[in-house]
Copies of this chain bind each other. A is one copy, B any other.
Amino acid sequence: MNEETAVAAVKVTHLPLIREPRGSLIFGEYGAHLPFIPLRYFIVFDVPAGETRGNHAHRRVTQALICLRGRVAVAVDDGQHRDEIILDDPARALIIPPRVWAAQTFGSGAMLLVLCSEVYDADEYIRDYDEFSRIVSAT
């Protein structure tokens, strides 16, 4: 099941949750839940409450953002539309394709898991908003 956002290419995918007395399990698989095969993952934690991270776009990489603990507010912007998505449930994955500017504001104690469609390449980041605007308006 997908949830739309005001930024057409950005979607929220609902992940299966299996809740049992001996523990809870949430899973995501390529195909059914993830539109890409993750070649890289990272986790972000110990972020001071209210701190904003990100503030860049990617030229090629698609990401899935999953809030494992606490609350992360994600601002997304494709140059034409903007939205803010609140992630506070590990059973929701926010799918952000390339050429979407994104910023994450962390709540207290939050932990964010990010799955990425490529390994790290510094040249693949767009860190300047004016450059981002030029790129997305040219396509």
Taking Cβ atoms with an 8 Å cutoff, the residues of A that contact B are: 19, 21-32, 37-48, 51, 53, 68-69, 90, 106, 111, 113, 115, 119-120
Contact of A27 among B22, B28, B42, B69 (CB under 8 A): B42
This protein's copies in its complex: 2
Instruction: Assess whether A53 is in contact with B120, with CB atoms less than 8 Å apart.
Output: no
The interface residues of chain A, by DSSP majority, are classed as strand
| Chain B residues within 8 Å of A29, by CB | 39-40, 119-120
Most chain B CB inside 10 Å of its own CB: which residue of A23, A31, A68, A113: A23
- Cα-based distance from A2 to B37 in the complex (angstroms): 25
Lowest 5 A-B CB distances belong to which pairs? Answer: A23-B47, A27-B42, A24-B46, A29-B40, A30-B39
